[in-house]
Amino acid sequence: MTREELAECYDRYSGAVYRTAFACCRNRADAEDIMQETFLRRLTSDRTFPEEELEKAWLLRVAANLSADHLRRMRRRSLLPLEEAELVCELPQESTVFQAVMALPPDYRLAVHLFYYEGYSIAEIAGIMRKTNAAAAAVLSRARKRLKRMLGEEMEL
Amino acid sequence: MNMDDYRRVADRMEPSEQCRIEVLNMKNTKITHKTNRKLVPLMIAAALAVCGGGTIIAADQLGAFDKLSSVQENTYKDERYIPKWDENNYAEIAKYIDTLETAAEPTESTSGTASAEPNVIVDTESVYCDGRTVMIGISGSYVHGNRNRINGLGFTSRFIINGKTYTETDAWDEDCGFYRMESSTVQDEDSYDNFSGVVTIMLADENIITEPTTIELELFNIRRGRGGTTSASYFPDVVKLSIPVTPQPELRNVCNLRIEEDGFAAAIYEISPAGIIVGSQFPDSYYRRFIDEHGCEITQCDVGNVWYDENGEPLEGLYYTSTPDYGDGNGDRMIIYSYTDTSAMTIKWFDITTDEVLHEYTFTLTE
């Protein structure tokens, strides 16, 4: 991949990769590190993608894997809390919902992010998260139930 | 309070400009991670973010049902279990498309228009309906199109069939009433203002269409680009289409073949040009339940399964839906898109960490 191609790739997907990493790690510094590592993998990869969506899915998959590795390492230490200062919430309910999603287990919040924000199907989420379709569907279902429990019936899903 | 609140916050999250500089200065060597990155002000974007499940595929101009080949080619898969679809296997793709096209019937041309500017016009071309699955080929155009490079047109679908409403974003809900709903569109290569595509719904057992009816299809959250990104632009209105359908139940071969051995259960429910519906379960002992660091109860398992045809070639299993209330012991259903005329289907359960085959069973399919 040339420098120009990397720049184009970065400008197109850095936001999605960063937000996916943030959904996993819940803090800006780690998300940016993972994003950089993801694009380094892209730079050193010989893969070609016939469609842009496939390249994006590949990047998100790498970011999800790197985030999982990061969380495994962090498990030996204390997990960083979500830093409110890193968020820009303009309305009280925005903060409430975002905090609730971030309070979910890592797999749950990644699945929720990919489904509700990126608009991926269950099969695509399963591919990105390296799970079976059944497992991905189960994670989403449980995440939804947990959000309902946390936020009450007024939360529309 | 809904998930739009989450999307709006996520929309405002952007990596720092310093990141871009560092990434573009990277060499093909490992970078040094920084652990005390200075926080920089977050960029605030005002774009609305609305999520939907539509798949957007850029491809050459094709007929509406030909888009399914793009769906086949572009559906992301877990390469551990299922070999990647060969993007150049046009013979296999063509077989699938031919089967669908043969079964599809032209429909009375109905048109729906989103009246708000910029407006979108959608026409129906043809309909496949076997009672369980409805696939609607569409073509359309949007006025005042952005002529910059775009990734196609996306939308979220809602069907109203015999008084019941089915919405794409409910696809993973166990009570949604359908097994599968998705849409694909492709941009016409020579005209940025035109697109075509296919919208599909596969209904659950209790909602199968048995009599001629008129389906209401609504396309909303119409957008360029995919996902809740700030770069996506949204059309403000809804396209509504009324499509008369006459089900062709003879296209569905209802098998209801089931086995259970040593706690492993499998079933083949139905084969049609729109796909094969199968089910499988494995013993409860393969599930691991534990409490994670947040005090949450987590259930995990390391068992996957793959279906094979009579030649030992894996069938493409691209979609999953959960039907735990089916009541026959085969709670998990999976839909295999690929049409097959195989005379036998084998299911193998694997330990996905070791690839060890835990169990297998072969169904013989007869006329």
Q: Which positions in chain A touch B14 (Cβ < 8 Å)?
A: 15, 18
For residue B62, pLDDT beyond 60: no
Cα of A108 to nearest chain B Cα, Å: 10
Alpha-carbon span A52 to A48, nearest angstrom: 10
DSSP conformation letters of B267-315: EEEEEETTEEEEEEE--GGGEEEEE-TTS-EEEEE-EEEEEE-TTSPBP
To which H or E segment does residue A54 belong? helix A52-75
Q: Which positions in chain B touch A154 (Cβ < 8 Å)?
A: 1
- Mean residue pLDDT of chain B comes to 66
Of A87-96, B39-48, B244-253, where does mean pLDDT reach its minimum? B39-48
3-class DSSP state of B213 = strand
Nearest CA in chain B to A145: B173
Model confidence at B213, in pLDDT bands (50, 70, 90)? very high
The pLDDT assigned to B329 comes to 38
Chain pair A-B, CB pairs under 8 angstroms: 223
For residue B26, pLDDT beyond 90: no
Model confidence at A56, in pLDDT bands (50, 70, 90)? confident
How far is residue A108 from each of residues B6, B283, B289, B362, measured CA to CA in Å?
A: 14, 24, 15, 35
Cα of B212 to nearest chain A Cα, Å: 30
- Find which of A1, A9, A19, A67 to mutate to test the B interface (most B CBs within 10 Å of its CB): A19
pLDDT digits (tens, 9 = 90+) for B313-364: 777 654 544 443 333 333 455 666 566 678 889 998 887 777 789 999 999 9
Partner-chain contact B76 A54, CB within 8 Å: yes
Q: Which positions in chain B touch A119 (Cβ < 8 Å)?
A: 51-54, 154, 226-228
Partner-chain contact A97 B58, CB within 8 Å: no
DSSP conformation letters of B332-346: EEEEE-S----SEEE
Cβ-based neighbour number of residue B259 at 10 Å: 14
Q: Could you tell me how far CA B82 lies from the centroid of its own chain? A: 17
Partner-chain contact A90 B8, CB within 8 Å: yes
Q: Which two tokens stand for residue A104?
A: 């979910």
Residue located via tokens 């040339």: A2
Query: Which among B5, B14, B53 is the nearest to A15, CB-wise?
Result: B14
For residue A14, pLDDT beyond 60: yes
For residue B311, pLDDT beyond 80: yes
Nearest CA in chain B to A53: B57
The pLDDT assigned to B70 comes to 41
- Find which of A132, A148, A154 to mutate to test the B interface (most B CBs within 10 Å of its CB): A132
Report the sign of the C-alpha dihedral through residues B88, B92, B96, B102, in that order: positive
pLDDT digits (tens, 9 = 90+) for B150-163: 445 667 789 999 99
Phi-psi region of A79 (alpha: psi -120 to 50; beta: other; left: phi over 0): beta
The pLDDT assigned to A112 comes to 92
The pLDDT assigned to A6 comes to 86
Partner-chain contact B227 A117, CB within 8 Å: yes
Query: Which among B174, B317, B319 is the nearest to A141, CB-wise?
Result: B174
Q: Could you tell me how far CA B234 lies from the centroid of its own chain? A: 21
What's the distance, Cα to Cα, between the start and end of chain A in Å? 41
User: What burial class does residue B24 get, using C-beta atoms within 10 Å of its C-beta: 0-12 exposed, 13-18 middle, 19+ buried?
Assistant: middle
B26 or A152: whose pLDDT is higher?
A152
ipTM: 0.89
As a whole number, mean pLDDT of residues B183-191 equals 64
The pLDDT assigned to B79 comes to 35
What's the distance, Cα to Cα, between the start and end of chain B in Å? 53
Nearest CA in chain B to A127: B78
Of A1-15, A37-51, B170-184, where does mean pLDDT reach its minimum? B170-184
As a whole number, mean pLDDT of residues A102-116 equals 88
Nearest CA in chain A to B44: A88
Which phi and psi angles does B65 have, rounded to 5°? -75, -20
Q: Which two tokens stand for residue B1?
A: 């309070």
B147 or A69: whose pLDDT is higher?
A69
Model confidence at B50, in pLDDT bands (50, 70, 90)? very low
Partner-chain contact A119 B28, CB within 8 Å: no
Question: pTM of whole model > 0.95?
Answer: no
Model confidence at B174, in pLDDT bands (50, 70, 90)? low
Strands (E), B57-163: 105-106, 111-114, 120-129, 133-142, 153-161
Q: Which positions in chain A touch B44 (Cβ < 8 Å)?
A: 88
pLDDT digits (tens, 9 = 90+) for B90-147: 344 444 555 555 666 655 556 665 554 456 778 887 788 899 999 888 877 766 544 4
